[in-house]
Amino acid sequence: MAIKDIPVEECMLQGNAACPGCPATMGLRLVLKALGKKTVMVIPACCTAVIESLYPHTSFDVPVMNIAFEAAAAGASGVEAALRKQGREDITVVAWAGDGGTYDIGLQALSGAFERGTNFIYICYNNQIYSNTGIQRSGATPYAAWTTTTVGGKAEFRKEMGEIVLAHHIPYAAQTCISYPEDVYAKVMKAKTIKGPKYIEILAPCPPGWRFSMDSTVEMGRLAVDCGAWAMWECENDVMTFSGKSKLLLEKKVPRKPVEDWIKHQGRFSHLFKPQRDEEKLKVIENHIDRTWERYRALYLQK
């Protein structure tokens, strides 16, 4: 799939409330290009509910149902059942939620929908914080990152949401990143053709939340993948395949970039460099990534 083959049609309208350089709108453009107009979205409280903009107008050119923070997957289950009853199985139902709405408060509704086999796509855009409410920590916030609720840097490691999803053994689960539009597009297109629950998580570097300049959203995603802080993969019927650069890292065909190359651009990690370098914490981050990839290799590398 070349960029030129991605459809021109836009269902995300210009002139919305997103910050300049927003990764969520970047992702939404791609997702809606892949799914087209025959899509119903369910969106809980998160930045995207704000990006919809002011009543009585919306920046979404597909139907969207807004729902409580914890209820995206439950709401999508209801919409899917109603459409099925009406014989409208040509319509794709998508829940689109943030990391807070997925890793934390929406987790049980999500697990329930997966276990019931609901025919929908759940997409988590992961900006590693509760950004809509002003940058609080979530279960997706990485170790040592500053947020307004982790002022000295987060003390815990992030959870591996993707692997929690894998434990449900749904037909399709994937991780990708907004910096790789062909990968995002291809994964959404594949999910669209599969019946049953599908999960896609998109890493979404957020300029105000991570404290980097608004022209660097794409670069921050690329560096996260290069240094192994984020992995791109897909798992279809329990067959796991790593994608793009992550595949090369898994197979040790390219060296992993030092994590410093990624975090040095982000104000949320600036306390690791000023007033002096916190060698100890930098080492903890690096070692954790190494251990994570050794675990990935033991579990997922095809021999």
Ligand X SMILES: Cc1ncc(C[n+]2csc(CCOP(=O)(O)OP(=O)(O)O)c2C)c(N)n1
Q: Report the nearest approach of ligand SF4 to the CB of residue 215 (Å).
A: 8
Q: According to CB under 6 A, which one of 130, 212, 230, 269 is a site residue for ligand X?
A: 130
Of the two residues 138 and 266, which places its CB atom closer to ligand X in the complex? 138
Contact letters for another protein, residues 8-27 (x by CB under 8 A): x-x-xxxxxxx-xxxx-xx-
Which residues have a Cβ under 8 Å from the Cβ of 134 and sit 6 or more positions away? 148
d(C-alpha 69, C-alpha 100), whole Å: 9
Residue nearest to ligand X as judged by C-beta position: 98
Q: According to CB under 6 A, which one of 26, 45, 229, 263 is a site residue for ligand X?
A: 45
Which residues on neighbouring strands pair with residue 256, listed in sequence order? none
Contact status: 40 vs ligand X (CB under 6 A): no
d(C-alpha 116, C-alpha 280), whole Å: 45
Contact status: 47 vs ligand X (CB under 6 A): yes
Determine the size of the site formed for ligand X (CB under 6 A).
16
d(C-alpha 8, C-alpha 32), whole Å: 11
Contact status: 69 vs ligand X (CB under 6 A): yes
**Which class for 130: exposed (0-12), middle (13-18), buried (19 or more C-beta within 10 A)?**
buried
Of the two residues 145 and 166, which places its CB atom closer to ligand SF4 in the complex? 145
Of the two residues 4 and 274, which places its CB atom closer to another protein in the complex? 4
**Binding positions for another protein, 207-226, rule CB under 8 A:** 213-219
Contact letters for another protein, residues 52-71 (x by CB under 8 A): xxxxxxxxxx----------
DSSP 151: T
Of the two residues 71 and 129, which places its CB atom closer to ligand SF4 in the complex? 129
Contact status: 139 vs Mg ion (CB under 5 A): no
277: left (phi over 0), alpha (psi -120 to 50) or beta: beta
Q: Residues 99, 18, 213, CA angle at the centre, nearest 5°?
A: 85
Q: Computed over its alpha carbons, how large is the radius of gyration of the chain?
A: 19
d(C-alpha 182, C-alpha 160), whole Å: 24
CB atoms within 10 A of CB 87: 7
Which residue type does 82 have?
A
Return the one option of Mg ion, another protein, ligand X, none that residue 57 interacts with (CB less than 5 to 8 A, by type): another protein
Tokens representing 268 are 């949320």
Tokens representing 49 are 């509910």
CA dist 58 → 39, 107, 131 (Å):
16, 27, 20
Contact status: 46 vs ligand X (CB under 6 A): yes
Contact status: 98 vs Mg ion (CB under 5 A): yes
Contact letters for ligand X, residues 94-123 (x by CB under 6 A): ---xxxxx----------------------
Contact status: 133 vs ligand X (CB under 6 A): yes
Given a contact cutoff of 8 angstroms between Cβ atoms, the answer to whether 184 and 190 are in contact is no
**Binding positions for ligand X, 283-302, rule CB under 6 A:** none
Positions touching ligand SF4 (CB under 6 A) are: 18-19, 22-24, 47, 127, 131, 206-209
Q: Kindly give the pairing relationship between strand 92-98 and strand 120-126.
A: parallel
Helix (H) or strand (E) holding 97: strand 92-98
Binding site for Mg ion (CB under 5 A): 98-99, 127, 131
Binding site for ligand X (CB under 6 A): 45-47, 69, 97-101, 127, 129-133, 138
Binding site for another protein (CB under 8 A): 3-4, 6, 8, 10, 12-18, 20-23, 25-26, 29-30, 52-61, 181, 213-219
